[in-house]
Amino acid sequence: MSRITLLSAVPVLAAALALSACDRAAEPPAASDAPGAATADAAGTAMPGAHDYAPAITEADFAHRVQVLASDDFQGRAPGGVGEEKTVEWLAAEFERMGLEPGNGDSWFQDVPMVETTADEASVEMTLDVDGEERRMAFGQDMVIGTRTGEARVEIDDSQLVFVGYGVNAPELGWNDYEGVDVKGKTVVMFVNDPGFHVDDEALFEGQRMTYYGRWTYKFEEAARQGAAAALIIHDTAGASYGWDVVKNSWSGPQFDLPADHDPEPRLPAQGWLSADAARDVLGTLGHDLDGLYQAANQPGFKAIELDASMSLDLSSTSTSGSSRNVIARLPGTSRADEAVVYMGHWDHLGVHDNGDIYNGAIDNATGVAGIMEIAEAFASRGQRPERSLVFLAVTLEESGLLGSKYYVAQPAVALEDTVAVINLDAMPVIGRSSDMTVVGLGNSELEDVLEEVLRGQDRTVSAEATPQDGFFFRSDHFNFAKAGVPALYAKGGDNLREGGLEAGAAAQRDYRDVRYHQPADTFDPSWDMTGVIEDLQALYQVGEVLADGDQWPNWREGNPFRANRDRMLESRAD
């Protein structure tokens, strides 16, 4: 899933910001005859029209790139189809036009093996035997469910339901929702988010700030480790940070995974979500009040509840093996070319659904990819190359669980111990200038110090995310680098707008979440106020410039769980 961010919900600012992140930029490279002019790609596919790019980071160039990526011609940028082909070929051609080099040996691409699985939603049969009464659950209305095993048919017969609270096993925190219960062959039912969240208890986990234990990906993995036959998460908008329509849209149509032999995490035969209404009804029939269960599940020592109910499932799916592509471009450094700063963003989105709706993903994440392209153009047009190399990485399969970045981290084009830092751009705000810049996961790394110094020159400050309970730090591609130990910065324009303040920023956040996030309405809008995002890109450019022209090796802060891996990398470099 992608992050919620800001969209145009406030008036367009009258004044435009014309600052350049690279005042000393040289003239842009001469345009080539690569796609982007009135030409076609190798497959004969018509490509976007020509555009006269400036060497600096500009609104016009940024807008053009977003509009291209979010156009209907790119078919919602779903992996494995026409949309992917157009997207990655255009990106590679643009990087080549800028004068960059292929970043994966002599190739612009890194093949990412994938399995595409599509459930036959019309034939899915899920029934719950609730206290002797059979109830059929409707796909999309009461539940969504799928399999990651690649099996053509998954049949589960009369699997007892077990309510396991938040489905968390965290020995370092003295918490185990599975203690004292055997769930092998059973179907576990659980809440999203962490213990402490729904009762606002700051003493449990990190209170309102989500940890990785709160993510649905972790919950399914832990259920598989416990031997469950299936797992169902009870949806609630506050705990998940998005509505039921987002769940329904994200879990409908083709679902993508790495092949099982490329993924060390365990997998369940079936996994999915229950709507809040369906869960409340079923649990109420069994004599359990949903609100009461929220209270019980947040008590230390909570014991799982074996319910007088069972699930039967007949799930047919079609699966095909294939591959998608990460796009990797490189600007070689001068004196220390083996060391690299990585700018990244995911190019994929949700494609075209069966009803013909195109999910263009303009904010999520055409803005992020356009952003790294703007920064790449600025660096490529500089009068002198930096000392360290710069890598521009557009990854696939983020919407399917950060899979493209997971694969890259396992097979990096630049060794992780030689990777200075990762700067992630995902769902950039287009609502005008802000007096702050939000760092997702503020307090984690020394990269924040570099950003803070840069922002002083823009008369701006660093701020924490407004909704730490949403767990955005774990929901974008930088997280795979972080787990491996590479310091990562995920930052974007903040909520405190120069015009309208925090109230306007919060309104924009709600507007995007409720109306556009993972919806067909996430389309390019020429009325966006892009003055703020240009300022954001200039700040992120300057962070990379400090790192690429310098010799520092930023680290995670003391006490951060990722620091040990980074320390080992730095020790290996010193040997």
- pTM over 0.85? The answer is no
Domain co-membership, 126 together with 104: no
What confidence score (pLDDT) does residue 34 get?
34
Beta partners for 319?
117
Domain co-membership, 501 together with 558: yes
Q: pLDDT per residue over 82-141, tens digit each? A: 999 999 999 999 999 999 999 999 999 999 999 999 999 999 999 999 989 999 999 999
Separation of alpha carbons 556 and 566, rounded Å: 7
DSSP state of 365: I
- Please give the tally of structural domains in the chain: 2
Residue of 18 and 312 predicted with greater confidence: 312
Separation of alpha carbons 573 and 418, rounded Å: 8
Contact 177, 168 (CB under 8 A): yes
Confidence of residue 561 (pLDDT cuts 50, 70, 90): confident
Residue 290's CATH number: 3.50.30.30
What confidence score (pLDDT) does residue 49 get?
66
Domain co-membership, 510 together with 550: yes
**Is residue 156 in some structural domain?**
yes
Separation of alpha carbons 445 and 169, rounded Å: 26
Domain co-membership, 134 together with 243: yes
What confidence score (pLDDT) does residue 48 get?
65
Q: pLDDT per residue over 232-279, tens digit each? A: 999 999 999 889 999 998 898 889 899 988 887 889 999 999 999 999
**Is residue 31 in some structural domain?**
no
Domain co-membership, 361 together with 473: yes
Domain co-membership, 434 together with 453: yes
Q: Which two tokens stand for residue 82?
A: 């026409």
The pLDDT of residue 21 is above 60: no
The pLDDT of residue 40 is above 70: no
How far apart, in Å, are the Cα atoms of 155 and each of 80, 151, 230, 351, 519? 28, 10, 11, 29, 31
The share of the chain scoring above pLDDT 90, in percent, equals: 80
**Is residue 364 in some structural domain?**
yes
Domain co-membership, 336 together with 485: yes
Domain co-membership, 550 together with 450: yes
What confidence score (pLDDT) does residue 209 get?
87
Question: Based on the number of CB atoms within 10 Å of its own CB, is 301 exposed (0-12), middle (13-18) or buried (19 or more)?
Answer: exposed
**Is residue 50 in some structural domain?**
no
Instruction: Among 319, 347, 381, give the residue marking a domain's end.
Output: 319
The residues, ordered by sequence, that sit 6+ positions from 474 with a Cβ below 8 Å of its Cβ are 210, 212, 215, 217
Give the chain's length.
575
**Is residue 12 in some structural domain?**
no
Instruction: Among 319, 354, 381, give the residue marking a domain's end.
Output: 319
Q: pLDDT per residue over 372-419, tens digit each? A: 999 999 999 998 999 999 999 999 999 988 999 999 999 999 999 999
Query: Angle formed by the axes of helices 276-285 and 290-297, to 10°?
Result: 90
What confidence score (pLDDT) does residue 103 get?
98
Separation of alpha carbons 49 and 43, rounded Å: 17
Q: Which amino acid, one-letter code, is at 499?
A: E
Domain co-membership, 562 together with 467: yes
What domain range is 462 assigned to? 59-116+320-574
Confidence of residue 150 (pLDDT cuts 50, 70, 90): confident
**Is residue 6 in some structural domain?**
no
What confidence score (pLDDT) does residue 307 get?
97
**Is residue 535 in some structural domain?**
yes
Instruction: Among 291, 319, 347, give the residue marking a domain's end.
Output: 319
Question: Based on the number of CB atoms within 10 Å of its own CB, is 341 exposed (0-12), middle (13-18) or buried (19 or more)?
Answer: buried
Domain co-membership, 406 together with 554: yes
Domain co-membership, 100 together with 151: no
Q: pLDDT per residue over 406-453, tens digit each? A: 999 999 999 999 999 999 999 999 999 999 999 999 999 999 999 999
The residues, ordered by sequence, that sit 6+ positions from 9 with a Cβ below 8 Å of its Cβ are 431, 504, 507, 508, 510, 511, 512
The pLDDT of residue 471 is above 60: yes
The pLDDT of residue 60 is above 70: yes
What confidence score (pLDDT) does residue 29 get?
32
Residue 514's CATH number: 3.40.630.10
Tell me the three state secondary structure of residue 131: coil
Domain co-membership, 389 together with 297: no
Mean pLDDT computed over 174-187: 97
Mean pLDDT computed over 161-175: 95
Confidence of residue 35 (pLDDT cuts 50, 70, 90): very low
- Mean of the per-residue pLDDT values for the chain? 90
Question: Based on the number of CB atoms within 10 Å of its own CB, is 446 exposed (0-12), middle (13-18) or buried (19 or more)?
Answer: middle
The pLDDT of residue 41 is above 70: no
Tell me which residue has tokens 């339901």.
161
Mean pLDDT computed over 481-496: 96
**Is residue 44 in some structural domain?**
no
